[in-house]
Amino acid sequence: MLLTGAGSGIGRATAVRLIAEGATVFGVDRDETGLAETGRIAAEPVAGGGGRWIAHRADLSGEEAAAGVAAAAVAELGRVDALLNVAGVLRVTPMESLRLDDYRDIFAVNLFAPVVLCREVLPHIPDGTGVIVNVTSTAATKAHPWMTGYAASKGALLSFSISLAAELAPRRIRVVPVSPGGVATPLTADKSTYAGIDTSWYARTYPLWGAPGRPEDIAGTIVFVASDDGAYLNGVEVRVDGGSHS
């Protein structure tokens, strides 16, 4: 399995869960220290389950880099049974101070990298059993003020995923977008991310019990979707938000 964003948060939790269930995970992140920590956790007796961890440091913000990741994964794995696009960036983009470069930077990782990886990996995904899981966000369909760039990138990834699922149907390769709600990760916990905005609005994105989800909550859904148990899920958004957007 090729998994991006494996150095922290949802990506790390997904890697640990997969390895515990015996999968071989080619984990990609730009944070080498984060990748090493993921490998350490996955190797602990409580988590270890016979799987294999392969760390690969890369920045996915360029087309050549993303294509290089796909080539490296194929060279190591031979084929890619599941492509799990979890990597993402979050940036505040208030409209009055917006720079178009902000959008370009966000789209480079949140949309273009998954698109390139899908294109490059597709020849090596087996017909009939292969699956692509793209982590989108409830921001794709629900209001996230001051984060229009992030929301737009996730909305585009959601639309891309649904249409790609129809395109790949003749090969019986599933494509499923998974949309988390508020989740406690290093990405969302970084207070500098929210500089200059009123974060009280985002309290409504939490479930009724008032706390964000855990990375493990989303990882469990990703693993289910990518497994044989999720074999009848295709081309439909799977929202994992604790009911906060019901």
> Is the per-residue pLDDT at 40 higher than 60?
yes
Label residue 47 by pLDDT band (50, 70, 90): low
pLDDT at 46: 57
Band of pLDDT at residue 48, cut at 50, 70 and 90: low
Q: What pLDDT sits at residue 196?
A: 74
Question: What is the Cα–Cα distance from 168 to 25, expressed in whole angstroms?
Answer: 23
CATH code of domain 74-240: 3.40.50.720
pLDDT in tens, 137-150: 999 999 989 999 99
pLDDT at 132: 98
Would residue 232 show up in a list of annotated catalytic residues for this protein? Answer: no
Higher pLDDT, 167 or 190: 167
Sign, Cα dihedral of 179, 37, 57, 105: positive
Q: Which of 150, 194, 206, 232 is catalytic?
A: 150
Q: Is the dihedral of CA 144, 185, 105, 132 positive or negative?
A: negative
pLDDT score at 200: 80
pLDDT band at 199 (very low <50, low <70, confident <90, very high): confident
H/E run at residue 25: strand 24-29
Q: What is the pLDDT of residue 211?
A: 80
Which helix (H) or strand (E) is 26 found in, with range?
strand 24-29
Residue 129 tokens, joined: 């059993």
Angle at 112 between CA 146 and CA 77, to 5 degrees: 130
Q: Quick check: 231 pLDDT over 60?
A: yes
Chain centroid to Cα 79, Å, comes to 20
Average pLDDT in the 2-29 region? 97
State how far the alpha carbon of 9 is from the alpha carbons of 39, 79, 159, 214, in Å: 14, 26, 24, 9
User: pTM of the prediction?
Assistant: 0.94
Q: Where are the domains of the chain?
A: 74-240
Torsion of CA 163, 17, 69, 105, to 10 degrees: 60
Tell the residue number behind the tokens 């220290």, with chain if given. 33
Contact 31, 236 (CB under 8 A): no
